Amino acid sequence: NAGVTQTPKFRILKIGQSMTLQCTQDMNHNYMYWYRQDPGMGLKLIYYSVGAGITDKGEVPNGYNVSRSTTEDFPLRLELAAPSQTSVYFCASSSNPSRETQYFGPGTRLLVL
């Protein structure tokens, strides 16, 4: 199992550009999450999904969109990049968040200039 994979590892965007951060898991987990981690801070939940076709907002959803067309994939879309979106983005998945750990991807570092 590859676990949770994220691409790209690092990206520089100009203000106003758009991009999609990819996340794939091969563990057949229903639950998937997107977090952002600002320097020296904890993780803040952007969006999450409890299964294919179902998504919901987290703590900081503004400026982002997600979709979940398959169990494996949970892409995060930035439509109009802003400097405030400079952060490290983590994708995670879980089979049962109440009883099992969340498995995290390696992260995507995004710099918006």
Partner 1 sequence: AQTVTQSQPEMSVQEAETVTLSCTYDTSESDYYLFWYKQPPSRQMILVIRQEAYKQQNATENRFSVNFQKAAKSFSLKISDSQLGDAAMYFCAYLRRGAQKLVFGQGTRLTINP
Binding site for partner 1 (CB under 8 A): 31, 33, 40-45, 48, 50, 58, 88, 90, 92, 97-99, 101-102, 104, 106-107
Query: Looking at the DSSP assignment, which residues form a beta bridge with residue 13?
Result: 112
The CA distances from residue 47 to 12, 14, 16, 39, in Å, are: 22, 23, 21, 20
Toward partner 1, which CB reaches closer, 54 or 80? 54
To the nearest whole angstrom, how small is the minimum distance from the Cβ of residue 66 to partner 1?
Answer: 14
To the nearest whole angstrom, how small is the minimum distance from the Cβ of residue 8 to partner 1?
Answer: 14
Toward partner 1, which CB reaches closer, 27 or 43? 43
Block residue for tokens 């009883």: 99
The SS3 of residue 50 is strand
